[in-house]
Chains A and B, each alone.
Chain A
Amino acid sequence: MSSELPARMGEWVIGTEAGTVLTCIGLGSCIGLALIDRRTKIAGLAHVMLPEAPSGPGAAKPSQPDKFADHAVPAMIEALIHAGAMRHRLEAVLVGGAQMFALGRGSGQDIGARNEAAVRAQLDRARIPVRAAATGGGKGRSMRVVIPAGEVVYKEAAGRPITLLDPSADTLRMAA
């Protein structure tokens, strides 16, 4: 039967076997990025925490580089290709990037929006289209990617599951 493979904060997971369900539970300002190759039925799910790793002289090497969009997205793409996916067939679905609280003293502190922009920039660079997204707003979300269908479903707290991408019906839905 189905087995869950959770991507915890700052991790990504790859699923190739039918019955595997990739999950990101409790996304707040983090982004859950699903990358799917429908033909080979391979999918990856990254739980991105921050836009980019500190760089420049004197910056320490991050202890967990997959926290950052600029490390996690290219690394997961490489791993998907290694597992048999084709880069030009990859499709992306984004969930998360909410701003649940107004913290910080200035503006421009919306880490959720910065995470989404950083993930989209990496996808642009890799020429991977974003098929659906449920991002922003003020609510947390959880998401699931079901293999082999490549169906992407998310829900908010105490809410009903909403299908964002259903490759079998080939319907795409943009959430508000």
Chain B
Amino acid sequence: MTTYTETQLDALRELANIGSGQAAAALSTMLGHPVDISVPTAAAMELNDAIAAAGDPDAARHAVLVPIIGDFDASVVLLVPDSDAQQLCDVYGLDPHSEDGRSFLQEVGNILGTSYINVLAEMCGMEMEPAPPQVVYDMLGSILASVLLARGEDVDMALVLDSALTVEGRPASLSFLLIPAGGGVHDLLARIGVS
């Protein structure tokens, strides 16, 4: 079972803070609205608890998955409730359930994921490449379980870095998760001098 010290979680929270700051700036440019970020949370949880912490597993969410490949195996997941997705898509007069709306959300996920990952890669001196994003509208529990178990490996604990972004002037907030796979996190921590 993988556990993290409080110092390690603090360092990860700081990485998430800088990453999501960069992501928020990119989103703000795209939307033409200021975007606020919350202080990210970092927690290592048993899988069922990690899903419960994200919300009602039965609740529908728009989700954009950006797989990260390279030195660091991870997934970035953007989660948006339907009403918030409506607000976001409204900036361009789109319906989130239409083809154009879906590709807009995919682009939002792409921009957020890519800017977040670029900052992380730069700070840690590691190769990280975002793979093409995939967008779904589905149950929160199904989304997170599929991401956590995608590799078919027996994992007990999930490390979840969660940042909330709020678009000013529009009641739209999105949740932004970085879910590292396997042992990559310890490499990442070692790179920034926290082992």
Contact = CB atoms under 8 A, between A and B. Distances in A.
A167 interface: no
Given A9-B47, A10-B48, A29 B138 contact: no
A34 interface: no
Chief secondary structure at chain B's binding surface: mixed
Interface stretch (A12-20, A84-92, A94-102, A128-136): A94-102
Interface in B124-181: 134, 136-147, 149-152, 154, 156
B122 interface: no
A114 B65 contact: no
Contacts of A50: 149, 152, 154
A158 to B, nearest CB: 5
B136 A138 contact: yes
A26 B140 contact: yes
Nearest to A114: B152
Interface in A26-42: 26-30
A157 B150 contact: no
B152 A25 contact: no
B75 interface: yes
A140 B149 contact: no
A102 B156 CA distance: 22
B149 A102 contact: no
Given A62-B154, A140-B141, A100 B136 contact: yes
Contacts of A140: 138-139, 141-143, 146
A26 B69 contact: no
19 contacts: A10-B48, A25-B58, A26-B51, A26-B144, A26-B145, A27-B141, A27-B142, A28-B144, A29-B145, A29-B146, A49-B149, A68-B154, A103-B67, A103-B147, A104-B150, A104-B151, A112-B146, A142-B58, A156-B138
Given A28-B146, A99-B146, A100-B146, 15 more contacts: A9-B145, A25-B57, A26-B145, A30-B145, A62-B154, A63-B156, A98-B142, A101-B134, A101-B146, A103-B151, A109-B150, A111-B150, A114-B152, A141-B139, A158-B137
Interface of B: 1, 47-48, 51, 57-58, 60, 65, 67, 69, 75, 134, 136-147, 149-152, 154, 156
